[in-house]
Amino acid sequence: MKLLLTSAGITNTSIHDALVDLLGKPISESSALCVPTALYAIPGGAGHAWRMISGREPNCPMCELGWKSLGVLELTALPSIDEALWVPMLRETDALLVGGGDPLYLCYWMQQSGLADLLPSLRREAVYVGLSAGSMVMTPNIGEEFVHWIAPSGRDSTLGAVDFSLFPHLDHERLPENTLLHAEKWAAKMSVPGYAIDDQTAIKVTDGAVEVVSEGHWKLFTPE
């Protein structure tokens, strides 16, 4: 899959244009599946999930972009149903919209549901669109600063689909712990390069090539 890893969804024209470029066609001609699972592991998660699914999350737009069709892929339900009921749908969709919340909880259910194993086999034209935790889950690990839900392994490791880590919501007015200074301390403990990105920034990954798409600010940290 092609990847668009965002901090807060499709928040500006540049990120919107990057998504359309990855899709290879207008959003109005594209199908999407929404994955709200990570939201259930944070306070108020049920309400956040409803707002994401219903397209009523203006600060983090994903589902409200005018998709041709939109469905919900709830990862916690998948282990209990036949794969024939959801895998063909997944293989046919143009975009997978993976919401924010808790990245380790999301990683656990991506693995338990079988979605993590299926992602590499999805067609090349499909686009994975991550939002915050939905982006972080594709990295090798998230760092202790972002550990809240404790994985059975006790570690902060995630899927490792890319070779860098992410520090989202840089300098967010409601997150005083997400300053550049905090990002520098986070990066100093990471073994891979790390991007600190604000809510107007995304990372576009195509065939391993990484491009920063931004109308805001960001910083790349490299291990010493």
Q: What is the pLDDT of residues 61-96, one digit of tens each?
A: 999 999 999 999 999 999 999 999 999 999 999 999
pLDDT, averaged across the chain: 97
- What is the average pLDDT across 119-140? 97
- Integer Cα distance of 184 and 222 in angstroms: 10
| % the chain with pLDDT above 70 | 100
Alpha carbons 196 and 67: distance in angstroms, whole number: 29
Which residue segment(s) compose the domain that 158 sits in? 2-221
Work out whether the CA dihedral 93, 86, 83, 52 comes out positive or negative: positive
Q: What is the pLDDT of residue 224?
A: 77
Position 165 scores a pLDDT of 98
Query: What percent of the chain clears pLDDT 90, i.e. is strictly above it?
Result: 97
Read off the CATH number of the domain in which 187 is found: 3.40.50.880
Q: What residues contact residue 126 under an 8 Å CB cut-off, 6+ apart?
A: 1, 2, 93, 94, 95, 96
What is the average pLDDT across 177-200?
Answer: 96
**Number of domains observed in the structure of the chain:** 1
